[in-house]
Amino acid sequence: MWYYCFTEMFNNVIDHSECTAVLMYINRNYAETSIIISDDGVGIFKKIQEYYHFESMDDAILELFKGKLTTDKTHHSGEGVFFTSRIMDTFAAISDEKIFSHTEYEEVLKDLSELPNLSSNQIYQSGTTILMKLSNDSNKTNKEIMDQYADVDGGFTKTRIPLKNIYSTYPVSRSQAKRLTHRFESFQEIELDFTGIPELGQGFAHELFVVFQNQHKEIKLTPFNTNLSVQRMINHVLHD
């Protein structure tokens, strides 16, 4: 797992960051191992934003949650960050005071601050900082994680998106849904995790589960971890 994740992230630095220097920090105790890779390059979110002409860096972060995103399709599949973020117990990419992580921002900063002997001059304030942590006793495997997102032929056909990591409040508008569905056609199945989402706007739900779904019947949208309010809104637009 470490071989895959470290080489994928360090290769991104070499191929994408345009940096002049990179720092690496490794800490291992009895319970877990942590690796930090920090470069002084252009910044991962800015690079993606400029390449795809997104309106904001937040749009770039949203796309990273989906996977299959790269600024060099000739040499990269766009799977490295996606799978590394799911293989590791903790993963975070920090750049331009923004973060891509399945963990809360404050928890990631706490993880960084608690690493022994790590001072501010060991992390570049520009560029990108990658934090990875994994239990020394982890019994996960790369294949186990990757198979969750593959079809019978091993293709990367399925993705899972944690909506609470994307929206600061609950999503309400059609424009939010349209940004969310950008590049959905790259997948056969999309799981939408509504954990932590208290409710949905009617416009968002209708655009996602009616308009988009009617236009792309070949794509399976699967909402899960919905509370009663969210499920009622989904049912409402489906049966309106």
Which positions ≥6 away from 232 have C-beta within 8 Å? none
Domain count, the chain: 2
Residue with the larger pLDDT of the pair 118 and 1: 1
133 lies in the same domain as 161: no
What pLDDT digit, counting tens, does each position of 128-160 carry? 999 999 999 999 999 999 888 876 565 788 999
41 lies in the same domain as 136: yes
136 lies in the same domain as 178: no
On whether residue 145 sits in a domain, the answer given is no
Give the range of the structural domain holding residue 190, as residue numbers without chain letter. 157-238
Give phi and psi for 155, each to the nearest 5. -80, 150
Output the CA angle 80-114-84, nearest 5 degrees.
10
Last residue of a domain, one of 111, 140, 169: 140
What pLDDT digit, counting tens, does each position of 70-85 carry? 766 655 566 889 999 9
Last residue of a domain, one of 140, 167, 200: 140
Q: Which residues of 23-60 are buried (b: 16+ CB within 10 A; e: fewer)?
A: eebeeeeeeebbbbbbbbbbbbbbbbbeeeebeebbbb
What pLDDT digit, counting tens, does each position of 39-57 carry? 999 999 999 999 889 888 8
**CATH code assigned at 105:** 3.30.565.10
Number of H helices, E strands in the chain: 10, 8
Contact 59, 45 (CB under 8 A): no
Nearest-angstrom CA–CA distance, 7 and 29: 22
166 lies in the same domain as 107: no
23 lies in the same domain as 128: yes
Using DSSP, state whether 192 is helix, strand or coil: strand
- Note the pLDDT of residue 124: 77
- Note the pLDDT of residue 13: 94
Which pTM does this prediction carry? 0.81
Last residue of a domain, one of 140, 165, 181: 140
86 lies in the same domain as 192: no
- Note the pLDDT of residue 165: 85
How far from 2 is each of 14, 68, 139, 173, 233, CA to CA, in Å? Answer: 18, 21, 13, 40, 42
The owner of tokens 């508008």 is: 173
- Note the pLDDT of residue 71: 65
- Note the pLDDT of residue 80: 86
What pLDDT digit, counting tens, does each position of 158-211 carry? 999 999 888 878 899 999 999 999 999 989 999 999 999 999 999 999 999 999
